[in-house]
Structure 1
Amino acid sequence: MEEGMTSDGESHRLTHSSEAGQAATAAYEMLRETRDSAEEIVSRILAVKRQGLPKSQLGELVTQMFLNFVSLRQANRSILLEEDRVKADTECAKAPVDFAIQQLHNSTYEKNRYLKAIKACQDFKSRYPDIELVPEEEFLRDVPEEIKGSTASDDAHKLMIKRLSFELFQRKELCKHHEALEERKKSLLETIANRKKFLSSLPSLLKSLKKASLPVHSQLGLPQTKKLKQHHLSELLPPPLYVIYSLLAAQKEAFDDDIDVEIEGSGKDAQCFARQQAMNDCGTSSNLEKSRFEDDAPDDDDDGQKMRKRSKKVPGGQHLEKAIFLEFHPLKVVLHVYDDETLDKKSDKLICLLFEYIMKLNVVCVGIESSDERLDDILCNLFPDDDGLELPHQSAKLAVGDKPMFNERKSLRPYKWAQHLAGIVFLPEVSPFLSGHENSSGEITGSIDASNIHSMHRLQNRVPTILERIRTRVKARLAHISA
């Protein structure tokens, strides 16, 4: 019934609205026509005044203008009445919308209340939420009789209580087992502590044992202590000297050659150098250059005379820079070469060579440890074009500059064969093919071809070749001197 009435009222309202809309359209058309008529009358009045026509025509035009004003007031009133009607219809239509919005808010509130109640029910925690019980079949199989009792299988509450009791029983057993394991762990830790204490005191015991066994080693002639010391020192050698030491030691051990190789120098200084090198590799370089520049910088309290005195020490600074470039590694390799033709080995020592390493230039120098001046230049030109007066590779020359580092009075020189023996490989400054001459056919022939260079390098890199040439030259020199 209400729905029928609502539909009839809605249709009546729509019909009334359509009729009102047509009336408003007619009022707007009337307003537009009246405005056009008023504009035409005003234009005619202005034309009469401009043309000077009789004023009797103006009275008729004024009357028509007044009629147009009346029409304008009537159209304006119709429009205002239509506006009031539209506002009234809007107010009438607003009430159902407000009612629908209120119903929507009520529905949303009830929905949120229901969702909150559902979430509270879902988040409700029971008394045993976090206990993971064993499956019921396993419980019925493993439960002891004192816990199982005479519980009916259909009583879920009592069955849950029995299962919780069984869980408590298992956890108590696990706690007892955990305590037993803790006791065992404690005893094992005590045993480990005692053994660590024994191991910490073991080096001192071994040191005292080693000290006590030294007389026995000396009586039996066992060089084990010296070998061990040499082994420790070899770990502190720079790579080039270590290569030379390993090659010479391998030559002596493999071929029983009449040579002796040993390492001399300060092990403590070598350790300090190795530690400093490790710090430099980690990015913490030493402040030697900074301190040197700070020492050379003038103080604010010094006068001009002191400045002039300090400026006279420039040559000493050059000698200091040269000394820095010629700074050798604390350790050196000593090679004793004996005559291999005598029956009694090591009865006649021919020469003693010293191998030292210049750290700044990455160069190995060789010298003779002898007071006999007749053997000072015995190593000069041991191989062709190798007098040892120049640095072997270009990088060292660029680092030093034009300052002479070696001369004929020094027996310690950077021979090329020593660099090859130490594993320092470098290219020649000028290609051998560029140093040749042009033959009759127009081809350039070098004095030394690539195969000869390779074979020469292999000869200089071999220990037997070097030892053979040294022995031959020393024997020839001694024979010439004795003759």
Structure 2
Amino acid sequence: MQSEIAKDTVATAEKSPLELLQETKASVEAIITKLLSIKQQGTPKSENRELLTQMFLNFINLRQANRAILIEEEKLKTETELAKSPVDFTTLELHNLMYEKSHYLKATKASRDFKSMYPNIDLISEQDFFSDAPEAIKSQTLSNDSSHDLMLKRLNFELHQRKELCKLRVRLEQQKKCLIETNAERNKFLSSLPVHLKSLKKASLPVQSQLSLQNQKKLKYHNLAELLPPPLYVIYSQFMALKEAFEENIDVEVSGSLNDAQSYARQQAEQNSENLRMEIDDEDDDGKRQRKRPKKEGSDEEGLYQVNPLNVVLHVYDDEIPDSKSHKPVVLKFEYLLKLNIVCVGIEKSQDGAEKNILCNLFPEDAGLEPPHQSAKLILGNDHAFDESRTSRPYKWAQHLAGIEILPEMSPFFTDKDIQNSDTAKDFAFASDHRNVQTVLQRIRSQKKTQLTLV
């Protein structure tokens, strides 16, 4: 009996708790069934003791199976807890990665939807990147993907350029600030300069008077300019203003006899006073007394081509030569014909005919062979011929510089195409386009340069 119990105990130890529980349950049920059958049949109760012993053994097995199940449950719970920790950690990492993914997706969408202030400015091209980028940027390895690595390098180079431009901007702003301060100081000095110059001039007058330091040549020209006829005075004042305002490389002189000019000015003043007196007498006599008109001069050329005693001489130097005054300038002489009321221009000190052609070709359709206005044509006669043997000619541009307004013989605003293309309309257009003294000087220098090139 004991050997059987020992065998059952060894077999029980080899079985799993669930199998032991099921077998014990079946054994208990079989013992109870057997006890019930003995009781019902009334058989001797000698076997009951053994059955009870087996029952108790089964109860012991039940407790053992129950304990083994509880121990296994605790073991599984412990293993479950140990396995749950890495799962929770992995789940947390998954949630973090999903959050980062959503953040990157939002940032990418925001970057793609961003509208720059300068939408037409693209990233630097690959060719410019390889040619201009420094080696420190090109030698970096930022990604395993070649295209992505190139894009990152281009972006780094773009950032490098922007930083350099920001530094340049700061330097330029500082330079601008310094220049503004310098200009403010200079403007302050210039604003106070007239007062200082006035006081200096006033203080230096006695010294100049004592040492005779005044520019006698300039004073002489100014004194002579006061006796110039109005057309020549207009020319003289324009060229002097151009020289003083723009430092033009020219010299302007007034030549002629001062005594003759003064005598002519007195004659003109006496003649004007006589004419005024005669007009007053005519008005007093109620128009009965006719005004004595001066006799019309004949057609003698000496009277027609009478020249004012004074004339204006213009020396035009080349601007492109550093020491231009050491070279031969173009010397123009402006004369005023009293009878014809025109200004004539000629070139002085001309050794050959090359420089004479400068004025003839200065402006198109202005060779100076025709009187510039209708009154001169009537005085010269039917042939309207101007003396071609004279060195100076009445160019139209000279009349415009002298302020002699020439009205066209017919209105230039007629709609007739033939009249618009007439010489009168062209003269009117010429008068409106060539009043600038700078244009005349530029063309004189250009013609001079062309002549030298041809020579």
Normalised by the shorter chain, which TM-score bucket? 0.3 to 0.5
Rg (Cα) greater in structure = 2
TM-score (norm: length of structure 2):
0.46
